[in-house]
Amino acid sequence: MSTEITVPALGESVTEGSIGEWLKQPGDAVAADEPIASLETDKVAVDVPSPVAGVLQEHRAAVGDTVEVGAIIAIIEEGATGAASGEEAGRKAQQADAGEEKREEADKDLANAAQTLSPAVRRAVLEHGVDPSTIKGTGKDGRLTKEDVLAAAKAKGDPSPAPSPAPTPSPAPAVATGERKEERVKMTRMRQTIAKRLKGAQEEAALLTTFNDVDMSAVIEARTKYKDMFAKKHDIRLGFMGFFAKAACLALKDVPSVNAYIEGDEIVYHDYVDISVAVSAPNGLVVPVIRDADQKGFARIEKDIADFGARAKEGTLTMADMTGGTFTISNGGVFGSLMSTPIINPPQSAVLGLHRIEDRPVAVNGEVVIRPMMYIALSYDHRLIDGREAVTALKIIKEAIEDPTRMLIDL
């Protein structure tokens, strides 16, 4: 009996995606609930599992095609596992291409692996031809990360380069003119969406950025003093983001317009704080949300951030993780940024940009001293937030960071 595989529901307001990668080819045996394709949506990569065991008969869409929710993308012949084995063996006997044989061997390894691999990890396994069942995962609950696969490939002496982090169609042949080369690679769906959203934010909102600098001495001292106790009690390290998240909550409560957004001709205010945290993922920048950050302690916030970071690398964040958010924090400092003007994440009206910490000479009580300083920036929609409100909010964040005893550390 033939079973149609359709595009599953992809999340609130998401009606379509594109085929990022076929994980199974026609003739391949498929187990029930085994992923057969990876879909790219505006925010995340989503695996499409087979609801039945059988043989993949055909693809109804190609890599890169846009498909709507409910569209048929593949046909599975249910219960034909025996036939699959024979067809697959016959197909392998006819394959002369060494690269294709390597992929077949990797597919076997994936089928035998006793764990679910994310799209990014699966692509790395196929690219480097390693056996995932022999690799110890360092991700949450022992799951494999792409870094685990790359390390295993390097350990066995695999000379092949690391795979591209984003699933893209094969690039067009390079155009050579002497020693100068060009190549064209289609933008991933996520990158296209990021481009549209950022440009849309610039065109729609009246963007303005206000800056301040923060003496990080007190936070560094607090982390040094309490990090061991904190880690022992809560099983998580005490990071800088927890401090800034709690400081932002103080500011957003005092200046509610910074935590609001415009909807039509109305202003929507929130009596809660859901902080979107910008995280770098294989497919691009994503912004999972710390729900009710104003109600959470340092430990819970740090655990949420650590979990988001791990799952972003594994490619296992869901649409639900990134839905909503009333305010965003983006930390360009981890990449070495000294100063920037971050762009708001619509429909939000403000974003806090953090930057690198560096020792600088500052005047304290009439004397020049060296202190660990950080520039912070608040970009905001001037249609809703006045300059006085933006400056006040950023000043509250600065004061809370410079005097962290104002914030409760959950010890």
Q: Which of 33, 292, 386, 403 is catalytic?
A: 386
At 255 the pLDDT is 97
Residue with tokens 């839905």: 323
> What total number of domains does the chain contain?
2
* Neighbour tally for 79: CB within 10 Å: 13
Residue 212's nearest CA partner among 332, 392, 53, 22 is: 392
At 7 the pLDDT is 87
At 186 the pLDDT is 80
The runs of H, that is alpha helices, within 235-380 are: 240-254, 298-314
What is the C-alpha to C-alpha distance for residues 149 and 278, in angstroms, rounded to an integer? 25
In a domain, 161, yes or no: no
Q: What is the CATH number of the domain that holds 118?
A: 2.40.50.100
β-strand partners of 227 = none
- Average pLDDT (52-62) is 90
**pLDDT exceeds cutoff 70 at 79:** yes
Residues 388, 245 share a domain: yes
In a domain, 367, yes or no: yes
Answer yes or no: 382 catalytic: yes
Amino acid at 363: A
Residues 119, 212 share a domain: no
Structural domain span for residue 351: 190-406
In a domain, 217, yes or no: yes
Please, what is the average pLDDT of the chain? 83
**pLDDT exceeds cutoff 70 at 115:** no
Residue 280's nearest CA partner among 332, 347, 239 is: 332
Sequence-distant (≥ 6) Cβ neighbours of residue 144 within 8 angstroms: 115, 117, 121, 132, 135, 137, 314
Tokens of 139: 């991700």
What is the C-alpha to C-alpha distance for residues 388 and 396, in angstroms, rounded to an integer? 12
Residues 386, 253 share a domain: yes
Residues 214, 151 share a domain: no
- Average pLDDT (235-255) is 94
Residues 98, 205 share a domain: no
Tokens of 159: 């000379």
At 163 the pLDDT is 47
- Give residue-wise pLDDT tens across range 351-391: 999 999 999 999 999 999 999 999 999 999 999 999 999 99
In a domain, 184, yes or no: no
At 247 the pLDDT is 95
Q: Which of 228, 254, 382, 403 is catalytic?
A: 382
- Average pLDDT (300-328) is 89
Domain end residue (candidates: 109, 132, 155):
155
* C-alpha gyration radius of the chain: 25
In a domain, 185, yes or no: no
Residues 254, 110 share a domain: no
β-strand partners of 376 = 212, 354
Answer yes or no: 292 catalytic: no
Residues 261, 376 share a domain: yes
Residues 224, 131 share a domain: no
